[in-house]
């Protein structure tokens, strides 16, 4: 027996996987179920895992997978729960046999994932030296990438929190030496230090703006700053 919220979350994750190839973020799940905090999503996912409806791929970000979707269900508003009906019952929520398609969904997800080099940790607070030699790789759904060459960096620091980029997040960067004003970029300063910031062009100067009021914007002559890539995606482990 599942609660209404557990059932709704399971259907939302299943639909998101089929449409995008990867599981939704906790923020997307919270908004979809109209919950006030992510802690409620944590509890729902734990309950669905305990009941064998959800699983996780270890050491991957956003790696929930639907193991099965219950059929022949009805929702009882009086006890806020979901239970099975007789075989003759036709549900008006689920149509068709979703469980038979789950292995194909997993196979498609695996086939659509590519490996990107992880270059190291990039400071989102104070610049640090760039780590140029990839030593490890991260899996990334191809649907989240466009054309061009990409790499991953792990964020260190809190200066981009107001842009939704947290300490420990994995940012996916498309290599580029140009960027429009307002884009979040990997910027190389004086050929020796690299940082993740929002770029602003002001005449012959370039401002590297944090997204945290506790950090200051740094302004340089344009010839001291080189764009090394633009932010295109973000991965987060829970």
Question: Where is the domain boundary, 97, 127, 162?
Answer: 97
Q: Which residues are catalytic?
A: 159, 197
Task: Please give the pLDDT value at position 123.
Answer: 67
What CATH number does the domain containing 172 carry? 2.10.109.10
Predicted TM-score of the model (pTM): 0.52
Mean per-residue pLDDT over the chain, rounded: 75
Residue 18 has pLDDT above 70, yes or no: yes
CA separation, residue 177 to residues 80, 158, 173 (Å): 55, 25, 12
197 and 147 assigned to the same domain:
yes
Per-residue pLDDT averaged across 109-136, rounded? 62
Would the pLDDT of 21 be above 80?
Answer: no
Confidence at residue 78, expressed as pLDDT on a 0 to 100 scale: 38
Same domain, 65 and 143: no
Residues 75-114 pLDDT 10s: 444 344 444 443 433 333 333 333 333 333 443 444 456 7
Q: What's the pLDDT at 66? A: 85
In a domain, 211, yes or no: yes
Reported as half-sphere exposure (CB side, CA atoms, 13 A), residue 227 has a value of: 25
pLDDT, position 164 = 92
For 55-67, how does the pLDDT look when each residue is reduced to its tens digit (9 = 90+)? Answer: 876 555 557 888 8
Q: Give the pLDDT confidence score for residue 107 in this predicted structure.
A: 37
Q: Provide the domain count of the chain.
A: 2
Nearest to 198 by CA among 214, 188, 187: 187
Which has the minimum average pLDDT: 146-150, 171-175, 213-217, 223-227? 146-150
Q: Could you report the per-residue pLDDT of 193-233, keeping only the tens digit for each?
A: 888 999 999 889 999 999 999 999 999 999 999 998 999 98
DSSP calls for the chain: -EEHHHHHHHHHHHHHHHHHSSPPPHHHHHHHTT-S-HHHHHHHHHHHHHTTSEEE-TT-TT-EEE-----SEEEETTTTEEEE--TT---SS--S-SGGGHHHHHHHHHHHEEEEEEEEEEESSS-B----S--EEEEEEGGG--SS-EEEEEEESSTTGGGT--TT-EEEEEE-S---TT-EEEEEETTTEEEEEEEEEETTEEEEE-SSTTS--EEEEGGGEEEEEEEEEEE---
Q: Final residue of a domain: which of 70, 97, 124?
A: 97
> Cα–Cα distance between 90 and 140 in angstroms, integer?
38
User: Helix 38-50 and helix 4-20: axis angle, to 10°?
Assistant: 90
Calpha distance 64→49 (Å, rounded) = 10
Q: Give the range of the structural domain holding residue 43, as residue numbers without chain letter.
A: 2-97
* Separation of alpha carbons 103 and 124, rounded Å: 39
Whether 35 maps to a domain, the answer reads yes
């Amino acid at each position: 027996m599942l609660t209404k919220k557990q059932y709704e979350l399971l259907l939302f994750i299943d639909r998101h996987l089929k449409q995008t190839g990867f599981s939704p973020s906790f923020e997307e799940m919270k908004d979809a179920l109209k919950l006030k905090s992510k802690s409620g999503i944590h509890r729902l996912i734990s309950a669905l895992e305990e009941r064998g409806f959800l699983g996780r791929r270890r050491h991957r970000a956003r790696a929930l997978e639907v193991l099965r979707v219950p059929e022949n269900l009805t929702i009882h508003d009086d006890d806020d729960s979901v239970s099975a009906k007789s075989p003759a019952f036709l549900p008006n929520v689920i149509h068709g046999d979703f469980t038979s398609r789950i292995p194909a969904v997993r196979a498609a997800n695996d086939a659509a994932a590519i490996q990107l080099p992880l270059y190291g940790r990039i400071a989102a607070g104070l610049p640090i030296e760039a780590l140029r030699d990839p030593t490890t790789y991260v899996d990334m759904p191809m649907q989240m990438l466009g054309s061009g060459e990409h790499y991953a960096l792990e964020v260190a620091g809190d200066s981009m929190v107001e842009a939704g980029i947290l300490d420990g997040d994995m940012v996916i960067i498309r290599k580029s030496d140009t960027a429009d004003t307002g884009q979040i970029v990997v910027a190389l300063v004086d050929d020796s230090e690299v940082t993740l910031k929002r770029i602003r062009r002001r005449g012959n100067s370039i401002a590297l703006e944090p997204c945290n009021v506790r950090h200051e914007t740094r302004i340089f002559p344009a010839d001291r700053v080189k764009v090394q890539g633009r932010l295109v995606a973000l991965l987060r482990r829970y």
